[in-house]
Amino acid sequence: MLKNTHKIKSILFDLDGTLADTSPDMCASLNRVLKEHNFKTVDCFKLKKHISRGALGVIEHASEINQRNIDSSLLRAEFLEDYKHNVFVDTKLNNNMDKLIDYLLEKDILVGVVTNKHSRYVTNIIDGLGLNDKLSCVITGDMVLNAKPAIDGLIKAAESIKCESDEIVYVGDDERDIIAGRDAGMQTVAADFGFINDDINISSWNADLIIKDPLEIKDCF
């Protein structure tokens, strides 16, 4: 359970799987590239479980489906180029996330995003979701030296919104999110509605709170 919530001034979110379901567009781009190379396409629902590891993770999953080692550097470059032009087609906020964001803003709690994803994709996604005027910060992977689970992005966010780490909660759907948040001195929330493999014991992450719906955060304030 979150502690000392009267002190919380900001809630930061991971992007892929936590704030939004970006998987349809990532899957569509991957499958277009796979078809061009006469590879088997992937099931979009199953791909969700590999998106947290970025482009490398989705290419490795495609290799498993095709039962052969795909030239990851070439395919990854083509996948990212396609995705760059199709980053916001079917991507949408996760269920009830819009209601949570509006609730937090009404409570004067700052909302932001910290993601390992590159700004070339994130900028268009945030714009497409209509969140530009609601987010106090958007920290992307190319804005810091080290990606999560390093704390660089979270510390940069804290500096940007002028909050102390113990005044911030970080919400994510990957163990690296929880490690980064905890190491940065923030409270952490594990989003059990995100891109999580069925065989993962999310309780082992030792997040302060585990939620199955974004609106469960409302109950803490």
Domains in the chain: ranges and CATH: 5-21+92-220 (3.40.50.1000), 23-85 (1.10.150)
Q: Provide the whole-model pTM.
A: 0.95
Q: Which residues of the chain have pLDDT under 50?
A: none
Q: What pLDDT sits at residue 99?
A: 98
Q: What is the pLDDT of residues 108-133, one digit of tens each?
A: 999 999 999 999 999 999 999 999 99
Annotation says 16 is catalytic:
yes
Q: What pLDDT sits at residue 154?
A: 98
Rounded distance, CA 29 to CA 87, Å? 9
Q: What pLDDT sits at residue 7?
A: 96
Amino acid identity of 149?
Answer: P
Closest CA to 82 of 147, 27, 43: 27
Rounded distance, CA 49 to CA 27, Å? 12
Catalytic pick among 14, 21, 173, 177: 14
Residues in the chain: 221
Q: What pLDDT sits at residue 52?
A: 80
Annotation says 90 is catalytic:
no
Rounded distance, CA 210 to CA 124, Å? 29
Catalytic pick among 16, 152, 174, 208: 16
Q: What pLDDT sits at residue 57?
A: 86
- What is the end-to-end Cα distance of the chain in Å, rounded? 12
